[in-house]
Structures are given as C-alpha cells and as structure tokens.
Amino acid sequence: MTEIHEINFDGLVGPTHNFAGLSFGNIASHAHSKQTSHPKKAALQGLEKMATLMRMGLKQGVFPPHERPHIPSLRKLGFQGTASDIIKTAAADHKQLLTNMSSASSMWVANAGTTSASSDTSDGKTHFTAANLSSMLHRSIEHEHTSKMLRTIFASDQFFAHHDALPGTQFFGDEGAANHTRFCNSKGTQGLSCFVYGQSYMQGGTKPAKYPARQTLEASEAIARQHGLTAHNTLFLQQNPDVIDQGVFHNDVIAVGSRNIMFCHEQAFLNQKAALTALKQEREKTTGEAFHIIEVPTAAVSVQDAVSTYLFNTQLVFPQGKKATIIAPQECHDNPAVKDYLESLIANSEAIEDVKFFDLRQSMNNGGGPACLRFRAALSNAEIESIGISTNTLMTEKLYDQLTAWVSKHYRDELTPDDLLDPALYQESMTALDELTSILKVGSHFYDFQK
C-alpha cells in the first residue's frame, strides 16, 4: 500500500487580525479583548513557524485568509448600498455586528473542517467536510468559503471527495479537526479516527454547566458516515465537561495526538481510564504497533496552566528518522511548571525527543496556539503532487519569501477596535487578497469582492 504522509496546512493570518473577544469560553480571547493588535507581526510569526517546519523536512502548506469584513453576510442581514455604505451604516448602528463580520478567526484552520485519509475510507478517496462552526456568529459565516477553498486546493476528483458543512443547528455543532485525531501506523496506511465530543443532544448525559460544548456526538458520527469510515476504524470519546467549564473549548486545548502518541492532561476525558484503555486497544488492534499514552498529572501542570500556556495546543511532528518533536508556544517555556514538566518529559520519554518553542503571541493573545493554526491532512505522494499542480499552496523557500514580502507590503502594524469601522480597511484588505490569489494561484474568482 502507498505510504501516507501527514502534511500541515497553516492558516495565513488575515489583514483584519484584531482582538474583539468574540469567543465565549475562550479565556485568552476575552482577556485581551479590545486591545490593539498587530496584524503584520501576527502574519509573520505564523509564516516563520511554517518555514521552520518546512526546513525540518516536514511537509507544509498554507491556507489563504478569508475576506473580511464579510460584506455578503452583511447584505444578507439587510444592509444595502456599496461596501463602503454598508460598513459606515453598520459602524454607526450595529458596531458589534460589524466586529463579528470583521473577525480574522479563519486563521485557526484546525476548525476549518475534518479530513479522512484515503487508506481509511470505503471509496479509497481522501474526504473533506467543512465545519459549520455554528456555536459562534463570527465563525458561522466561514464554512461556505472554506468549502470553496478546500475544493480549490484539493481539486482532483480522482483523489478527493468533498462534503458541505452539516446543518447549522445545535444538534450538529461541528468545530472541525480540533476535535479529531488520526492515530496510525508508522507508514500512515492504517489509521484510527478518534472523534472527541462535548455532549450529545439526542442521547443526553453529562454536559458542561458554564460554557458551551461546541462539538456534538451527532456531528462527529455524521462526519464518520459521510467519509465512509467504519466501526473498525473509529472511536468516539467524550471530553470532560468540567475542563470545558475551565476554558477548554476544544479537545486540542487539553490533548494532542499523532501516529503512536496520545499526549493529554489527566482530566482531559470523561471516565478517562476507560477512555484511554479503549483508545490503546483500538489503535493497537488497528495497526499492530505499540502505542504511547502520556498523561500529565494535575500535580505537575494544573488545568489553568495548561490553558494559559496551551501546552496541549501544540503539534506533535515526526522529522524523518526521528522520534516526535513538540511544537510549542513560547508561553510554555515562560511558565516554570510547564517548562519543568517538558524538560523532564524530553529527558525520560521513549516517544518524544525534542521541543521547539515559537513566538506566536499575537495568535495566543487572541485564543489560538500552534495547533489551532494548522489543518492536518494525511495524503499520499500522488495526492500531494496534485495540489502542487492545481495551486501554489505548498510551502517552499520561494513561497515563504513571496508571502513575507506580501505581508510586509500590505498589512498594518497596528489595528485598534475603531479601525474596524473604517471602510478604508476593507479596500486595503481586498487589494492585498487580490494580489494573494496570484501568488497562491487559486484563481481570480477565489474571493467575492464587493463594490
């Protein structure tokens, strides 16, 4: 069977990167609400992470930002006139609504959708479903363009199958791959899809009391059916409702896994001992290879420290011929308890041999760490080559140079909350994105620019 490789597509931070505090349940987002943001710095920090992973020999891609403010959504809500007229009217009478339509949250492409590898699906194609993100207004407007983006980049009908987002109701709340992990063998050819949900609307049961459970069991089951997965290569686990109420809005804030490793906090899952026993048994049965479960005790790292540093919103990557490396935010290094734990882990782990820290403070201050910024896909060489034929979204040194020059040319150094009310920002952003379509070769009709 053809070898399958994990490739990370990072979201390119958009020109309207701002701190609006729109995400209820995301503590970092609320803590920095209404502060001045730095879009240029944010985008360059993200690009530096992409380039570093590429230079480590890992396969890396880039997803373009969405257009913001999103004028088509404002038109649907009854605003009329030119784009400038609509922004001025919304700024005067519905400031909070305009702020929602200006969010650059599409940078966090871990929520863009869910993908299943061709070696796992019934039809032998790699499947994609855009996430409806129905729990938050500012993110619920993303899925239509996300579907268009996925179809543009993963364009080959021979290799790829695409599905529209699930119905945008509370029963099918879907936050994408932030709640999905594929564990596989060393060749990537035999995979177990582990879906993590916050609650079940139809079955009832335990749920958080303070913050919303954004991923439902019903959504996860529907995606597994869409993608042609079976009971033999899927597992559904429930997130611990108590940690959701402590700011763990997605599973990837309290657990991260890849290939042969589950790295999680001891409070990550409901009935955790049974959940991890089932995961170990299913993964080893699927692949026939050893599996490493690393549980971080509360005594070593509290849930509060895990959330504030995003210890688990990290990436586990596998450079050629090496054990896993953790890609972590600088905050993990700066927190004494987390730093001490990581040093001990690296010194003693059989599965993880290194940790690299990145300055991603602009993303972190808005509520997203390294794992939030990336969308993982498990692809064969032929599938990866097809992406390079249809677009220029696979990271190279040349593309990195082009994108850093583009950001430096078009992005503002600072953005205040009041800047979002200025129609000039929309025009600047559209000019920038129009140029980006040529760099990434996604087509001149990729964006729906409004006059």
Residue 210 token pair:
């303070």
Of 184, 372, 383, 410, the active-site residue reads: 372
DSSP code of residue 261: E
CA–CA distance, 7 with 377 (Å, rounded to integer): 5
Residue with structure tokens 């360059």? Answer: 44
Q: Looking at 241-368, which runs of residues are DSSP E strands?
A: 255-258, 261-265, 292-296, 315-317, 324-329, 352-358
Q: How many CB atoms lie within 10 A of CB 325?
A: 21
CA–CA distance, 421 with 428 (Å, rounded to integer): 13
**How many residues belong to the chain?**
451
The question of whether 264 is a catalytic residue gets the answer: no
CA–CA distance, 172 with 165 (Å, rounded to integer): 10
What burial class does residue 153 get, using C-beta atoms within 10 Å of its C-beta: 0-12 exposed, 13-18 middle, 19+ buried?
A: buried
The question of whether 250 is a catalytic residue gets the answer: yes
Residue 97 token pair:
């609504």
Of 66, 143, 145, 250, the active-site residue reads: 250
The DSSP bridge pattern shows strands 261-265 and 255-258 to be antiparallel
Q: How many CB atoms lie within 10 A of CB 111?
A: 30
The question of whether 175 is a catalytic residue gets the answer: yes
CA–CA distance, 157 with 400 (Å, rounded to integer): 28
DSSP string, 351-406: SEEEEEEE--HHHHHTT--TTTTEEEEEEEHHHHHHHHHH-S-B--HHHHHHHHHH
Query: Which long-range contacts (C-beta less than 8 Å, at least 24 apart) are formed by 425-433?
Result: 425/15, 425/16, 425/69, 426/69, 426/71, 426/83, 426/84, 426/87, 427/84, 428/15, 429/14, 429/15, 429/16, 429/67, 429/68, 430/67, 432/15, 432/406, 433/15, 433/64, 433/65, 433/67
CA–CA distance, 181 with 442 (Å, rounded to integer): 28
Nearest Cα to Cα of residue 141 among 103, 178, 177, 84: 103
Of 142, 175, 266, 383, the active-site residue reads: 175
Instruction: Please name every residue paired with 442 in a beta bridge, in sequence order, or none if there are none.
Output: none
Residue 76 corresponds to which amino acid?
K
CA–CA distance, 198 with 270 (Å, rounded to integer): 10
Alpha carbon 278 to its chain's center: 26
Among all residues, which ones are annotated catalytic? 175, 250, 372
